[in-house]
Structure 1
Amino acid sequence: MPRAALSSLASPLISLLIYSVGHGLLTTLLTLRLAEEQVSVTLIGLVSTAYFAGLMAGTFINSKLIVRVGHIRAYAAYASILCSLALLYGLFFSPGSWILFRLLGGFAAGGLFVVIESWIMVSSPVRLRGRLMALYMVLFYAAMVLGQLLLKQMDILELLPFVVAGLAASLSVIPLALSRVDMPRFERHEKLSIPTLIRLTPTAVFACFASGLTLSVAYGLLPLFFAKEGMANEDIADMVAFMILGGMCLQYPLGRLSDRFDRRLVLLGLFGAILAVSLVFMMFNTASNVGLASLMVACFGGVIFAVYPISLSQACDELNPSQVIAGNQGLLLCYSIGAMSGPILAPLFMNALGAKGMFIYFGTIAGLTVLFLIWRRAVRAPVPIEEHVAFSATTPNSPVMAELDPRSEALEPEENIEEEPDKLKV
């Protein structure tokens, strides 16, 4: 990657790295602290759901605010909110209040991701965006892993881990505050309603929804499963780290595999693997075999993290180039609906079936998706391999990723059509 391009993007990438360390730490910390305080599984699920509801709202409606006040001021405001909320978690324990805090935190995090990703987009040439998306993904997941390693060194009943999460949010402002960037200018793109998207690419819509159902529970509630299985907090942090590492390492190889075969077949294999791993977790006690649990959770992370980007690639194969951005943004909405629903549904399984109910939930979602994919392969011919667009690694953080996707045929920033601020759509 050219040094000049990397230099211009250093500020948002460093800010992303710093913030994501605290984000990864806080996500696991909140679940473990709620479990330690004997909060019901249902309430813990609602806390997680609130975050994804806020995240969806923040990523889709914060664009106008960012345009009006500027990237740096908007980022500073979001980071200040996130820092304050991290401290409030530690100072004021109340599951009901935490639901509100998590909703506000998701909203602020959604805006923060829009700032970082739009900054990257306006500062990067189109030819480099595929590599930048991959770099963004690696830094984001690596920082999340580092957050788990920091959590291992702290007592979750003390204020310190909440302070560290707050510091990460606050310090992430510094790289951006010492930089500047022009306002992003985006093209107008064809709009796609969800019903139209379902008609054009039903497999991608269903798989993205299923990805939200599983990935949100893995992020928000998987530490709860290990806690109920009797695993120590230090080992739980390791499990989450292994899950994220698996996702980071396997996403690109699995994506490249999908370039060479019918992507629906690859997705079928991924959900089949989720079902198989779920069966393994149902059959043994993780606390008694941490080594096997580490291997299984890494495989689990590898497949569930790959579902969303491969689903986007499936959509890109089936949509016209002019529809790619709107299609990707619609698929993010489908993912977000699933992400809000998962932490509500999974506790129902756990309340009825105990801790193993979480992997019965994962297995149920995977099994239903496998049946759907088998049906789709029977009723619609695959996209010819020679018509596949190249896979791009991505994360379901904000709709700006659709603009960054090199498959969208985006224009160079300086070539884009300038719009009035109140008409700008990110």
Structure 2
Amino acid sequence: MKVPKLPGILFPLISLAIYSLGHGVLSTLVTVRLSAEGVSSTWIGLVSSAYFAGLIVGTFVNARLIVSVGHIRAFAAYASILAAITLLLGLVVVPEFWALMRFLGGFASGGLLVVIESWILVTTPSVKRGQVMAAYMILFYGSMALGQMVLKNVDLNTLVPFAICAISASLSVVPLALARVNMPILEVGKSLPLGRLLRITPAGITSSFASGLLLGALYGLLPLFFAGSGYDLANTANMMAIVIIGGMALQYPIGRMSDLTDRRIILAALFGITMVISIFFVWAAPTENFWLTASFIFLLGGTMFSMYPISLSHACDEVEPSMVMSVNQGLLIAYSIGAMVGPTMAPFFIEVRGPLGLFAFFSVVCAFTVVFLLYRRTRREAVPLTEHFSHTLSIPNTPIMAEIDPRSEFPEITPVMPEYERRHHDHHDVDVGQNHSAADQDHPARRRNDH
């Protein structure tokens, strides 16, 4: 009897929700626990950066390991490693040790996400991928926000919150272990070199890198800002939940708006609004008014979390459909580098300005990005609206998202079983043997005069 496709999709989504719940707890817990131990903002930033460094390695090098041992075995191994590392964090509170553990934890998390996303890929028809990506985003961010609520009800200085995260990692194995799905052979495509990608889509690559700078620092250091501003653990958790909910709630309407105009204008507006909010925080220090702070933090989450998906949509607009996957993966690298660098740069501002230095860092990054985006509008014509891809919600987690992205015309994942046929494209006749690039294709809608 043929297994329906819907349950096949549900298994990885349930595992994602369970994993993300613990991930949401741990992402805030690491910062506030180190802050409570009197660790400097520089070391807190380095610990956060170590996680993103491990995530980069884990998402880009784990495919071969996963293929060699199988998806479920690999997932169980990564989950066990993540659970053990999380418990060790609660037992040994030493910044240098935590940096190493967070690097290994990022590596394991990258492996978990590669398994989940490749599972989603093979169980999702191409026509449904946009809807599944939206469900992925809601579950990922929603579970992370819910994790903040769990954090409110535990004692920060005990092993309990770390045990909750470890339990979450362990239980995330259960849905996948109980499923029978024919898994794909992973053949993650090569991304374009960043130098070439910068020439093809300067605004896309720069905005992706800048969004990584901002979100890396936000994840790693925003809890430190609230703790340093006198917020207790419960209110710090509330604010982190609000920023995540803001990012989840505003991505879709902002994305739809970007379909109607030059996306560089929307990106400049997002970075501009973020800059204004950040300057307001530095100038007014509004943390004594909880609801005013919550309103601005909600809007800040909405703007910051929307930057990468719209950067990706803009980059996709500027290339041939056959290049979407490579561009997608290239922008993920740019974002990941930014997310790794951001938490190491922001502490310099914090050392000078105190907790509000984080928002000074945000404002400086946004100011440079806005200037660059406005400059780019004078150097290259906007892609005509008729040439726009429809905006797609996206989370910068792993290269597999490039495969799931419905804008990708040539999936590079080959399923093991014949019933999962590779879908090259819907209604475009394109010679896959041709070498497509924005530099060498004479495509009237894609080639721009770029002086």
**What is aligned with 1:405?**
405
Residue 393 of structure 1: how far off its partner (Å): 0.4
Is this contact kept in 2: 1:192–1:323, CA < 8 A?
no
CA contact (8 A) 1:226 1:286 kept: no
Identical residues among aligned pairs (%): 53
In the alignment, which residue of structure 2 is the partner of 1:72?
72
**Match for 1:14: what amino acid?**
I
Q: How does 1:96-111 map to 2 (within 5 A)?
A: 96-111=96-111
SS at 1:242 equivalent: helix
- Report if aligned partners of 2:8, 2:181 keep a CA contact under 8 Å in 1: no
Amino acid at match of 1:148: Q
The 5-angstrom pairing of residues 220-239 of structure 1 reads 220-239=220-239
Identify the residue that residue 42 of structure 2 maps to in structure 1.
Answer: 42
* 1:322 CA drift (Å): 1.2
Give the Cα–Cα distance (whole angstroms) in 2 for the partners of residues 262 and 406 of structure 1. Answer: 21
125-134 or 87-96, larger mean C-alpha shift? 87-96
The 5 Å alignment of 1:242-281 reads 242-281=242-281
Is 1:389 matched with 2:395? no
Q: Distance in 2 between matches of 1:187 and 1:64?
A: 9
Is 1:336 aligned with 2:370? no
* Partner in structure 2 of residue 124 of structure 1: 124
Quick one: which amino acid aligns to residue 415 of structure 1?
A: E
**Is the CA contact (8 Å cut-off) linking 2:76 and 2:173 kept in structure 1?**
yes
The superposition leaves residues 397-423 of structure 1 with CA deviations (integer Å, 9 ceiling, x where unpaired) of 101000000000245952239xxxxxx
Matched position secondary structure for 1:415: coil
Aligned residues: 415
Answering whether residue 306 of structure 2 is matched by residue 306 of structure 1, we say yes
TM superposition score normalised by structure 2 = 0.90
CA drift of 1:6 comes to 2.5
Q: Which whole-Å deviations, capped at 9, do the CAs of 1:3-34 have from their partners, x for residues lacking one?
A: 94322111100000001000000010010000
User: Counterpart amino acid of 1:223?
Assistant: P
The corresponding residue for 1:360 is 360
Structure 2 residue aligned with 1:157: 157
- 2:52 is aligned to 52
Once the two structures are TM-superposed, the CA of residue 157 in structure 1 deviates from its matched residue by: 0.7
Deviation (angstroms), 1:194? 1.2
Partner SS, residue 157 of structure 1: coil
Q: Deviations over 1:243-281 (max 9, x none)?
A: 000000000110010001100000000000100110121
The Cα offsets for residues 55-103 of structure 1, whole Å up to 9 and x where unpaired, read as 0000000000011111100000000011001111111111110000000
Counterpart CA distance in 2 for 1:159 and 1:382 is: 54
Unmatched 5+ residue regions in structure 1? 418-426
Give the Cα separation in 2 of the matches to 1:187 and 1:387.
29
Q: Distance in 1 between matches of 2:5 and 2:251?
A: 25
8 A Cα contact 1:78 1:108, kept in partner: yes
Higher relative contact order (CA 8 A, sep 6+): 1
Q: Which has the higher helix share?
A: 1
Matched, 1:321 2:313: no
Query: For the residues of structure 1 that align with 2:30 and 2:232, how far apart are their CA atoms?
Result: 15
- Structure 2 unaligned blocks of 5 or more: 424-451
The answer (yes or no) to whether the contact 2:12–2:175 under 8 Å persists in 1 is yes
Match of 2:213 in 1: 213
Output the CA distance in 2 between the equivalents of 1:7 and 1:173.
Answer: 16
- Within the candidate set 400, 422, 425, 1:416 is matched to 422
70-79 vs 278-287, which deviates more?
A: 278-287
**Per-residue deviation, 1:230:** 1.0
- SS of the counterpart of 1:392? coil
Partner residue in 2 for 1:420: none
Pairing 1:10-25 to 2, within 5 Å after superposition: 10-25=10-25
* More deviation, 403-412/25-34: 403-412
State the distance in 1 between where 2:187 and 2:39 align. Answer: 47
Q: Which residue of 1 aligns with 2:379?
A: 379
Where does residue 31 of structure 1 map in the other structure?
31
Partner of 2:170: 170
Secondary structure of 2:407 counterpart: helix
Please say if 1:9 is aligned against 2:28: no
Question: 2: CA distance between counterparts of 1:187 and 1:28?
Answer: 34
CA distances 1:122-171 after superposition (whole Å, capped 9, x unpaired): 11110000000000000000000110000011111111100000000001
Please state how far the C-alpha of 1:188 moved relative to its aligned partner: 7.9
